[in-house]
Amino acid sequence: MSDVYIAGIDMIKFGKYPDKTPADLGGEAVLMALDDAGLTIHDVQAVYASNLMMANAAMGQQIMQRVGKTGVPVTNVTNACASGATAFRDGWIAIKAGLYDVVLAVGTEQVPKGLLGGPSKPGTLNTEGVFGSGTMPAVFAEAGMAHTAKYGTTFEQFAKVAVKNHHHSTMNPKAMLQNETPLEAVMGSEMIAYPLTKFMCSVNTDGAAAAILVSEKKARELGMGRMVKVRASALASDPYEPRHPSLFDPNSPTRLAVKTAYEMAGLGPDDLDLIELHDCFATAEILHYENLGLCADGEAGRLIDEGVTALGGKLPVNVSGGLLSKGHPIGATGIANLYELALHLRGEAGARQVEGARIGLAHVLGFGTSTAIHVLEKA
């Protein structure tokens, strides 16, 4: 089986685009990724497109109408917040299988204002084990409180995640928010669901990102200078477990997927130079330090207190600003995380560059539940 490389990858600046459609945004990202790879749409042999809010709208075909319809196979993917990473993985699988030498993965979304989550119809929420609302802030607030109950994690430690990621975003021109938020401002902002204040919740935004994946044969033909190797790709859903205090389980799927990814890559957490993980809420980042094996269970608070995961620390996490600042256009998020890793592995991240970065890990979690993990390596 061929190794798979990222030849081109890019994202638009995340923000609000009321005068454009998700397909318009996706088309922009595709053209940017093609330019980055030095290819055209005529070189692409298959397309994998992700979108959640308009999952029944043949989004991939709509995007191809913007950039050039060539008759290639188009597969539309929806997998909650893991949609973009799943589209990327499907393209990776297709090249691994020997079907294609060049594929396009693209994710796009326009996320409305307001709280996401909760039952789709009145009376359909399973109340077994539920401590409150099914909206996403409440779900991750409860997950954080479960961690606090077990390990003593504090409100201040959760808030420090937001301080860190908002600081990182000031160095990312493509982030929706680029503002410093001191600890007092984070802790004092509007309470959404304790311990999550407004500044500890990810931003509903519009955005798109795209990647051009190629076989090793094609990579060598194009030149290996800026290639990024996909060292591992893993996807997991939640296993059966007795119901626990969290409404959904944000932990087990991530632990399953990262175990597979580490084994596939022949690496462990000590080999990583940077991570982009799914900080949809500040509590989630704390949980995922432990889920990804960055520390023992119960020690995540220490990592944030000691600055281990800040830019300049031993293992920087979410130097893009994360979902908290960069934004979370659901269908695009998974590919945008990979874009951030690729920038650092190529040495092109500017002021936020992680020096000497060679190995990066990208993580997304979609409730339902699905977790995708990718490990990238400088070629």
Residues recognised as catalytic: 81, 328
Single-letter residue type at 73:
P
Rounded-to-integer distance, Cα 185 and Cα 46, Å: 47
The alpha carbon dihedral of 90, 361, 328, 140 has a sign of: positive
Phi, psi angle pair for 40, to nearest 5°: -120, 170
CA atoms in the 13 A half-sphere facing the CB of 371? 27
DSSP state of 202: P
Pairing of strands 359-366, 274-276: parallel
Q: Which two tokens stand for residue 229?
A: 């190797």
| Secondary structure (3-state) at 107 | strand
Angle at 23 between CA 18 and CA 27, to 5 degrees: 110
Q: Which two tokens stand for residue 1?
A: 């089986």
Angle at 66 between CA 63 and CA 72, to 5 degrees: 60
Rounded-to-integer distance, Cα 52 and Cα 59, Å: 10
Q: At what angle do helices 330-345 and 83-96 cross, to 10 degrees?
A: 60
Rounded-to-integer distance, Cα 202 and Cα 278, Å: 10
Rounded-to-integer distance, Cα 245 and Cα 290, Å: 18
What helix, strand, coil percent values describe the chain, rounded to 5? 40, 20, 40
Rounded-to-integer distance, Cα 97 and Cα 100, Å: 8
Rounded-to-integer distance, Cα 321 and Cα 172, Å: 7
Rounded-to-integer distance, Cα 314 and Cα 307, Å: 8
Rounded-to-integer distance, Cα 35 and Cα 159, Å: 39
